[in-house]
A = this chain, B = another copy of it.
Amino acid sequence: MTQVIEKQSGTAFRIKKGQKLKVTDPEGGQVSDMVLFNAEDKREKISSGKTLDFEESILITKGDFLWSNRSNKMMKILEDTNGRNDFLLAPCSPETFKIMYNNNEYHPSCFENLYTSLAQYGIEPDDIPTAFNIFMNVQFEPDGKLSVEPPLSKAGDHVLFEAQMDLIVGLTACSAEDSNGGSFKPIHYEIMD
């Protein structure tokens, strides 16, 4: 059954080892930040540094695993119809909009949407790691310069994950103008046995 994450919001849920999670961009051009915690011990969580090390790539896609800070596999990517995701940049936060965009007004953010959704599991703001940013299109130059470009995802593109352990998942429909070309859109997801 397809669940909807409304624009600029987030959710959290459990999935069991062996279950699959399908994350879909229903309209195209939207980003979904995902964080993972071991459901049995929340101090084990998704790690960008471990994943890039073990997969030997900046660009994580079909066939790759998402690894934890304890060097365990958390998810396997079974399908990736778009093929571009980011695992370099932290979730957008109130400070992102302040520091990067000089916006001092309240702005929704993936960081807030993750920690408020995950609070029910006893996860606090300081526990939120760098997220796996599904569909996010961060380009890098040979000199290392990074730029956040509009996602390349088309309507209906999806990434299919298989849980490698029992997990708590935090998932958003991104709140940052830069990440989704200025258009705020929902994200769909489905949990399958």
Q: Which residues of chain B are within 8 angstroms of A131 by Cβ–Cβ distance? A: 49
Q: Which residues of chain B are within 8 angstroms of A89 by Cβ–Cβ distance? A: 49, 52-53
- 1/0 contact trace for A26-58 toward B, CB 8 Å? 000000000000000001100111101110111
Q: A2 at interface (Cβ–Cβ under 8 A)?
A: no
Which residue on chain B has the smallest CB distance to residue A100?
Answer: B54
> CB distance A71 to B93 under 8 Å?
yes
Q: A52 to nearest B CB, angstroms?
A: 5
Q: Which residues of chain B are within 8 angstroms of A100 by Cβ–Cβ distance? A: 53-54
Tally of contact residues, A, Cβ under 8 A: 37
Which residue on chain B has the smallest CB distance to residue A57?
Answer: B144
Q: A34 to nearest B CB, angstroms?
A: 13
CA distance A59 to B144 in the complex (A): 5
> CB distance A71 to B99 under 8 Å?
yes
> CB distance B146 to A57 under 8 Å?
yes
Q: Which residues of A contact B (CB under 8 A)?
A: 43-44, 47-50, 52-54, 56-59, 69-71, 88-91, 93, 95-96, 99-100, 126, 128-131, 140, 142-147
Q: What are 9 A-B residue pairs whose CB atoms fall within 8 Å in the complex?
A: A44-B126, A49-B88, A53-B90, A54-B99, A57-B144, A58-B58, A69-B128, A70-B126, A71-B96
